[in-house]
A and B are shown apart, each in its own frame.
Chain A
Amino acid sequence: MDNFKEKNNMSAYSDLTSSEDVLYTDMGAWFQGERVVIRGKDLFTEFKNASWIEILLFGITGKSYTQDQIKLFNGMWTLCGSYPDPRIWNNRIASLAGTARSTTALAIGAATAVSEAKIYGRGPDIRSIDFLLRTKDKIDLGIDLNEVVKEELKKHRTIAGFGRPVINKDERIKPMHDLAEELNLLNGDYVNLVYDVEEYLLKGRYRMRMNIASFLAALMADQGFTVREYYQFMVLGFSAGMFPCYIDAVNKPEGSFFPLRCERINYTGVAQRKWNSKKN
């Protein structure tokens, strides 16, 4: 039998044998009937006055934040992700689940998974903060911003977090801008950078405005968030808008959410034909 791993003292499956029946972790555990530890802290004593968003972020980053930072993070979800409009693609899953009489948890679970999209939600989130972090690194090395943006456009034909499906203006930026300003958390390097990028893109033929993904990414990068931390924080960020969509649909007559007649299928395929067994 051929052996394809380089020979060493470890077996090819040593990662598995060393983990059999044991999980070494610093993330936490439930001590049955007694207590819970999360990232080295006792849940019941150290978090009894914490808001849910504080423990969510502690679970993601292992860090604690000031009350002003928490207000900023809370505002991101409240102002930027809580749209109870069932036409939006992820929310529509919640409405369809309601009209088809599925459960709330299935509705929200599926709609949350769907929010990890390419053209909205988690895809632009993760690519936006990645772009800003990379761009700032390059500028710090002395590379001109215009060159960085040109290179990015050449490579990806777009800039993550700029432009928007359906409409080119993002109404969430002003209220979020105002909140960050009120909290004195607006003037970090990444927020300045995202405005500089927008200025460049508006000047040129691209005519792309920043959307909320890049603005939030800039705010979070200024608070020290990494790519993964920002993405993970945003995963549940649309959920407050999903529940009303489900509730509305489940309270209306079953099947009555934007029903489609048979003739609403715009068929563009081949003409009617007869099955002739296999075409070997």
Chain B
Amino acid sequence: MMKDKENITSKIWMEEAEDNNPFLAKKSYLHGYDVFGDLLPNVSYIEYLYLLFRGDAPTDNQCKLLEIICIALANPGPRDHSVMAAMSSSVGGSGNAASLMAALAVGAGSLNGGRELFLCMQQWDISECDLDKWQHEIQSYADNPVEDVWPVATHCPGFEPHSDFIKTQTIQLLELLCEKTESQYLNWLNENMNQLSSISGAPISMVSVVSAVYKTLDFSAEQAEMFYLLSRLPGAAAHALEQQSIGWKKFPFWPNGIKLSNDPKK
């Protein structure tokens, strides 16, 4: 390390340079493990991701939790706002990075996005498995909003704003996780989802289940938000490429869809 020069401080990554080029890494170490010499032949992608974020090897249970959640989140489907954004980018011939940036920007918000997940994680951190605390959090989520770049939340994080029952896939995911993994948070959510939904006046959403997984993995709200944002990108990429090949003529445009209330010609 060059102490008298600008440097990047990191607990995650270390590099050893090639003997004859100080800018090329001969060896890279992730949390002390030789990436190409030791990890590459021995770890799964899920293990590597967990190690990257958490700094240590995951248990079988942690791997299973992450794997299930990564699959559940990988493709929100073409009607999802973030995927729509990626497709809307690609049908006009924008670059693939622009499509993913569009998916990230739209998928960052407090309607099924990273912000909702972040806020839900904060609720978990405060309330843990205590129904009284959850009741307080749910009933006060809109109190004392702090002015921020984010729009004020218009539904309680972790609950569906446009449904009056818990959707089938949310229950499927929660039941599978309870069956295949060990988690006090998921078990508690499974036992209390109806009470929580009654308190909220809206059913729990997939975000509640996903945040319970991240809570089980001991992710911070920030780590969970990042992981969630990453996890939802594969579907955006695949659908963007599909629509790129199909073309803009078959992509929704709503040619007569806008009704202006103040058209100066009327």
A residues whose Cβ falls under 8 Å from a Cβ of B? 1-6, 11-13, 15-16, 21-26, 28-29, 32, 35, 37, 39-42, 102-103, 105-106, 109-110, 113, 116, 122-123, 126-127, 130, 227, 231, 258-280
B246 within 8 A of A: no
**Also in contact, A40 and B32, with CB within 8 A (given A126-B149, A266-B8):** no
Contacts of B20 in A (CB 8 A): none
Q: How far, in Å, is A189 (CB) from chain B's closest CB?
A: 19
Q: Is B230 an interface residue (CB 8 A)?
A: no
Nearest B residue to A264 via CB reads B7
Structural contact, A262 and B262, CB atoms closer than 8 A: no
In the assembly, what is the distance between CA of A258 and CA of B55, in Å? 29
Given A126-B149, A261-B2: A3 and B164 interface contact (C-beta under 8 Å): yes
Given contacts A261-B2, A278-B63, contact A15 B162 (CB under 8 A): yes
Q: What is the minimal beta-carbon distance from B101 to any residue of chain A, in angstroms?
A: 6
Interface presence of B130 (CB below 8 A): no
Q: A272 — nearest CB in chain B belongs to which residue? A: B32
What's the interface size class on B, roughly?
35 or more
Closest to A279 in B: B57
Contact of B10 among A41, A102, A265 (CB under 8 A): A265
> Of all chain B residues, which has the CB nearest A128?
B147
With A2-B165, A4-B203 given, can you name 10 additional A-B contacts, CB distance below 8 Å? A5-B202, A25-B260, A29-B258, A35-B265, A40-B262, A109-B101, A260-B7, A260-B8, A265-B14, A279-B57
A262: which of B3, B17, B43, B259 is its contact (CB, 8 Å)?
B17
In contact, B31 and A270 (Cβ under 8 angstroms)? yes
CA distance A32 to B47 in the complex (A): 53
Complex contact A265–B198 (CB within 8 A): no
* B17 and A273 within 8 A (CB): no
Taking CB as reference atom, which chain B residue is nearest A121? B149
Residue pairs across A and B with Cβ atoms less than 8 A apart, 8 shown, are A15-B162, A24-B261, A28-B260, A41-B264, A106-B98, A272-B34, A275-B38, A277-B57
Cβ A269 vs Cβ B11 within 8 A? yes
A103 touches B95 (CB 8 A): yes
Stretch among B21-29, B80-88, B211-219 lining the A interface: B21-29
Given A127-B147, A279-B57; A16-B202 close (CB under 8 Å): no
CB <8 Å contact, B202 and A106: no
Most buried by A among B12, B14, B33, B257: B14
Contacts of B254 in A (CB 8 A): 21-23
Residue of A nearest to B260 (CB): A29
Given A273-B32, A278-B63; A12-B163 close (CB under 8 Å): yes
B57 near A278: Cβ-Cβ < 8 Å: yes
Q: Compute how far the CA of A12 lies from the CA of B38 in the bound complex, rounded to whole angstroms.
A: 53
Task: Indicate if the CB atoms of A265 and B13 lie closer than 8 Å.
Answer: yes
> Roughly how many angstroms separate A109 CA and B6 CA in the complex, as a whole number?
27
Indicate whether B42 reaches chain A with its CB closer than 8 angstroms.
Answer: yes
Q: Cβ of B125 < 8 Å from any Cβ of A?
A: no
Q: With A4-B203, A13-B162, A105-B98 given, is the CB distance from A269 to B12 under 8 Å?
A: yes
CB within 8 Å for A264 and B149 given contacts A1-B165, A12-B162? no
Instruction: Say yes or no for B241: interface residue by CB 8 A criterion.
Output: no
